Amino acid sequence: MKQKEIWKCNVCGKVIEILHPAAPETICCGQPMVLMEEKTADWKGEKHVPKITIEGNKVTVDVGISMGTPHPMADEPEHYIMWIELICKDNCYKRQMLSPGMEPKAVFTVSDTSGLKAREYCNLHGTWVGTD
Ligand SMILES: [Fe+2]
């Protein structure tokens, strides 16, 4: 278990992030929670890998929009991007929470645009990362 990992309970759907790792297992609903591994390659037609676009100090992270196939953001909450994060090289995390019906993108302002990494979480397909 490592800092910033995302874990999910497959019974109740709870999602947690590790801020400080300790005991190897976290139990929810009577079972160990499942690590949402960071995936880096898209599969099938659906786009999940977050794309970073830098303009000055403004950093836009989108999921599929810049590739012409935006990730679904259903008006009903069964499939959508729950949040988008930007990780700067000094391990500073910025997070934008999203809701169904919003665009699958987030805009952040950073002082140093080198070494950026983006991470997003899809409620059905888990955690995905991309770099600039
Ligand atoms: Fe998805």
Which residue from 13, 11, 14, 27 is spatially nearest to 1, judged by alpha carbons? 27
List CB contacts of 43: < 8 A, sequence separation 6 or more. none
Statement to judge: residues 30 and 55 lie in one domain: no
What pLDDT, on a 0 to 100 scale, did the predictor assign at position 89?
Answer: 86
C-alpha–C-alpha distance, residues 34 and 10, integer Å: 7
Identify the segments of the chain with pLDDT beneath 70. 44
Domain that holds residue 21: 6-35
Statement to judge: residues 78 and 105 lie in one domain: yes
Answer whether residue 1 is part of any domain: no
What pLDDT, on a 0 to 100 scale, did the predictor assign at position 21?
Answer: 94
Statement to judge: residues 75 and 27 lie in one domain: no
Distance from Cα 121 to the centre of ligand 1, integer Å: 8
Distance from Cα 78 to the centre of ligand 1, integer Å: 10
Angle made by CA atoms 113, 95, 86, in degrees to the nearest 5: 25
What pLDDT, on a 0 to 100 scale, did the predictor assign at position 74?
Answer: 86
Number of Cβ atoms within 10 Å of the Cβ of 103: 13
